Amino acid sequence: MTRGLFISFEGGEGAGKSTQIRRLAERLTAEAADVVLTREPGGSPGGEAIRELLVNGAADRWSPVTETLLMYAARRDHVERVIRPALDRGAVVLCDRFADSTRAYQGAGGDAPASLIAALEDHVLSGTVPNLTLILDLPAEVGLARASARGGAARFESKGLDFHERLRTAYLAIAAREPERCAVIDADADVESVADAIWRVVEKRLDL
Ligand code: TMP
């Protein structure tokens, strides 16, 4: 039985997820005693070890199907060891990326079959899906410019504008298909305005 609340943050590169997830954690701490801030790929020692394989190296280091399998190996460990136990004790879990990233990056951006991804969601997540997914939306070129100004490991950032435009379209399609779970946030604005827009959705959706 799920007692906690599971909120995922999604979006392309440079959408400001990391900043915004920290802001939401601060605000939620005032409402809920137990807030867990985590990320994917990673979030558990095993997941973080797999992350190193995924985010470093040449853009073509892994095929989209191999990437999908590595993402799901990391995700299963993260769900088993961090997310599920936190939800079971009633925590609010804020996760920087989750299953929608695989649908977008490996499915729409790459060529991993939707049927493979759907089967992995069914069998590997065992019903551990977000109550709310916040999709931070902005034009691909704006996000890529922000991400390259920030620097850092950039295997996925190096995949080209066309790839990143496919991601944006995929995220908007996910939101249109699952409006009860997803909310699209305009991320092409200043940090305060985006944080306020996120808070309004969280208050309304989660009845705080
Ligand atoms: P981050 O930059 O948001 O920490 O995420 C690391 C990279 O991993 C990012 O470029 C997106 C990518 N990614 C996928 O391709 N598929 C996934 O399922 C996840 C969780 C992340």
pLDDT digits (tens, 9 = 90+) for 56-108: 988 889 999 999 999 999 999 999 999 999 999 999 999 999 999 999 999 99
Alpha-carbon gap, residue 8 to 196, rounded angstroms? 17
Cβ of 71 closer than 6 Å to ligand 1, yes or no, is yes
At residue 46, the pLDDT reads 98
Q: Which of 156, 157, 164 to mutate to test the pocket of ligand 1 (most atoms within 8 A of CB)?
A: 156
Q: Is the sign of the CA dihedral 177, 179, 180, 182 positive or negative?
A: positive
Least trusted range by pLDDT, from 2-11, 73-82, 171-180: 2-11
Residue 72's Cβ-side half-sphere holds a number of Cα atoms within 13 Å equal to 21
For the entire predicted model, the pTM comes to 0.95
Q: Is the CB of 55 under 6 A from ligand 1?
A: yes
The closest alpha carbon to 95, from 3, 198, 24, 161, belongs to 24
Q: What is the pLDDT of residue 1?
A: 43
Mutate to test the pocket of ligand 1, among 83, 105, 167, 171 (most ligand atoms within 8 A of CB): 105
Q: Is pLDDT larger for residue 34 or for residue 100? A: 100
Which residues pair with residue 38 across a beta bridge? 95
For the segment 183-198, the average pLDDT, to the nearest whole number, is: 97
Q: Please report, for the chain, the start and end positions of each structural domain, with discontinuous segments joined by +.
A: 5-206
Kindly tell me the burial class for residue 105, based on how many C-beta atoms sit within 10 Å of its own C-beta (0-12, 13-18, 19 or more). Answer: buried
Ligand 1 pocket member 102 (CB < 6 A): yes
Q: Which residue has the higher pLDDT, 31 or 138?
A: 138
pLDDT band at 150 (very low <50, low <70, confident <90, very high): confident
Of the options 3.40.30.10, 3.60.15.10, 3.30.1330.10, 3.40.50.300, the CATH number for the domain spanning 5-206: 3.40.50.300
What's the CA-to-centroid distance between 34 and ligand 1, angstroms? Answer: 26
User: Residues 13, 155: contact at Cβ < 8 Å?
Assistant: no
Q: How far apart are CA 97 and CA 24, in angstroms?
A: 15
